[in-house]
Amino acid sequence: MTRIYTLGALLRNGSSLRPQEMALIFPDKRTSYADLNDRARLWAAALIARGVRPGDHVGLLLTTRPEFVEALFGIAMAGAVAVPVNARYQPGELAFLVKDADLVCLITTGRVADSLDFSERLMEALPSLAAAVDPENLSLSEAPKLRSIICLDEPCPAGLVSARTALLDLPLTAQTSNEIDARIDAVDPQSTAMILYTSGTTANPKGCLIRHRGIIGNSRNLGRRYEMQPGDRFWSPLPIFHIAGILPLVSILDLGGTYLTIPNFDAGVALSMLETEKATHAYPCFVTIMQDLIEHPKFTETDLSSVRLMNANLGVQPDWIRDAMVKAMPHTIMVGTYGLTEGSGTICTSRTTDPWEARGWRLGVPLDEWEVQIVDIETGAICGCDEKGEIIARGPNMLAGYYNAPEKTAEVIDADGWFHTGDIGSFDAQGQIMFHGRTKDMMKVGGENVAAAEIEAALQTHPAVKLAQVTGIPHPRYVEVPAAFVELNDGKSASEAELIAHCTGKLASFKLPRHVRFVSEWPMSTSKIQKFRLRDTLITELQEA
């Protein structure tokens, strides 16, 4: 049997093998493989009818909802390239992406929450959209290739095409169905399946070209590492437009299991779903999600016994999160993971047979088909055991490059095919990887290299500290010095002086934070704390003082 390595063929095959089994479960909707396949084919037909050709780029500006998954596979079935858009993007970021990605069509909606209306953001991002005469054939100076924007929910603002018009009134004829199958069969596994834009800091985001072979191959290897089986249920609370949401989705659908998720992260809803739907695998990963789960009143009374494996990333979590998770879920195999968008998601993760010392304090070993090395940042020499350096990786599931940015691609992929991640890591004697922060988290304090992660770890040993984040800020004498941002445990207190004193003796004097600021809410991208925003706020504060 030929192995399937394209998204459209993957879903078509799953529907033929298990039509009535559940593919997707949301809190308020259940979708079988047959229904998901039918809806995806309807989207493919709608796009073909709108003139979308193989290789064209179609954007998805939606929150996590069933229609996102339907349209994602529909785009693939039409032979087009899906461009998931971060739902947090503001008008300026949207304007950049729509033009940079050369979108010919965009699927979105209007108001999804009191403070979130995608149509309003699009109107601000694309000013000429408000005056568009023909929504079926847009001609916008800000986005020359964009021909239509499909709006899922009524009411649809002027300038957008109603999904009722695009989908519900469309007859799916035998001829159209044959064309869809022909397009599915014509897709080259090495062609681009998705363009995923990575979060920017001070520069514009970069569009990662992810191949069909890359996302399916990597998802399949993840399923093998996690010992997943047909019928398993994989729960992920991560946004579906993020690689960490797409990876488990593809992984479980490839195996014939069920993907469980929620539209917006709510710890109470998440815990209820884990229990009632009997999730076998869970993918919370990030500290903010883990924290909310543990602190919910229902956490200790929720039956989580069905969860065989959880990607908890305990090696990079505060100790209190590790302790709480292990106490609540002693039967669950906790694993660590290291990955990034450019690697089609996970590139290293624990084996189920790894000892607890590795799974609880390290992030695993490379997945099949990946080569991973740690090299000296300045010389490029391979680092020894426990030596910190830059993580570089290569393999068939790596990004093909950055869209419209050959110079940025050349900066990170060397002549031997190694992708330079910009992450600092190390391998221990057992070959387990550990993440120590970004190269930009490496400060140069008076000529000395200082890792932010080392200071964060020292601060988090203080009983009052729930979470610490450290960044460098400019200094006239030492070039830059460490500054810490701290969230305290409920009911606990600590002063700036007390926390600096706590680190004294644990860290060399040049590593001690020069400033400590307390926060109650972290500035977030999709899933990560945006240190640059913390840094900029403190610099402004100090300049105004």
The architecture of the domain spanning 211-369+393-419 is 3-Layer(aba) Sandwich (3.40)
The domain 7-197: what is its CATH number?
A: 3.40.50.12780
Q: What percent of the chain has pLDDT over 90?
A: 77
Query: What local confidence, expressed as pLDDT, does residue 442 receive?
Result: 78
pTM for this prediction? 0.85
Select from 171, 181, 184, 129 the least CA-distant residue to 151. Answer: 129
Q: pLDDT of 82-137, one tens digit each?
A: 999 988 888 888 999 999 999 999 999 988 877 788 999 999 999 999 999 899 99
Query: What local confidence, expressed as pLDDT, does residue 526 receive?
Result: 62
Q: pLDDT of 46-58, one tens digit each?
A: 999 999 999 999 9
Q: pLDDT of 436-482, one tens digit each?
A: 877 777 787 876 778 788 899 899 999 999 999 999 998 877 778 99
Please state, rounded to an integer, the average pLDDT across all residues of the chain. 92
Query: What local confidence, expressed as pLDDT, does residue 452 receive?
Result: 87
Structural tokens at position 153? 């929910």
Q: pLDDT of 487-532, one tens digit each?
A: 999 999 999 999 999 999 888 788 899 999 999 999 987 667 888 8
Q: How far is CA 273 from CA 23, 265, 288, 295, 394, in A?
A: 15, 12, 19, 17, 37
Q: Could you tell me the strand order of the sheet in which 309-311 lies?
A: 29-32, 22-26, 258-260, 233-235, 281-282, 309-311, 333-335
Structural contact between residues 246 and 228, judged by C-beta atoms closer than 8 angstroms: no
Given a cut of 70, is residue 200 above it in pLDDT?
no
Q: What are residue 429's phi and psi, to 5 degrees?
A: -65, -25
Amino acid at 146: L
**What are the residue ranges of CATH 3.40.50.12780 in the chain?**
7-197, 211-369+393-419
Q: pLDDT of 133-158, one tens digit each?
A: 899 999 999 999 999 999 999 888 88
Q: pLDDT of 6-33, one tens digit each?
A: 999 999 999 999 999 999 999 999 999 9
DSSP of 498-526, one letter per residue? HHHHHHBTTB-GGGS-SEEEE-SS--BSS
CA dist., res. 290 & res. 307, Å (int): 15
Q: pLDDT of 409-445, one tens digit each?
A: 999 999 999 999 998 899 999 999 999 877 777 787 8
With a CB cutoff of 8 Å and minimum separation 6, the contacts of 494 are: 462, 464, 465, 486, 488
Q: Which CATH class is domain 446-544?
A: alpha beta
**What are the residue ranges of CATH 3.30.300.30 in the chain?**
446-544
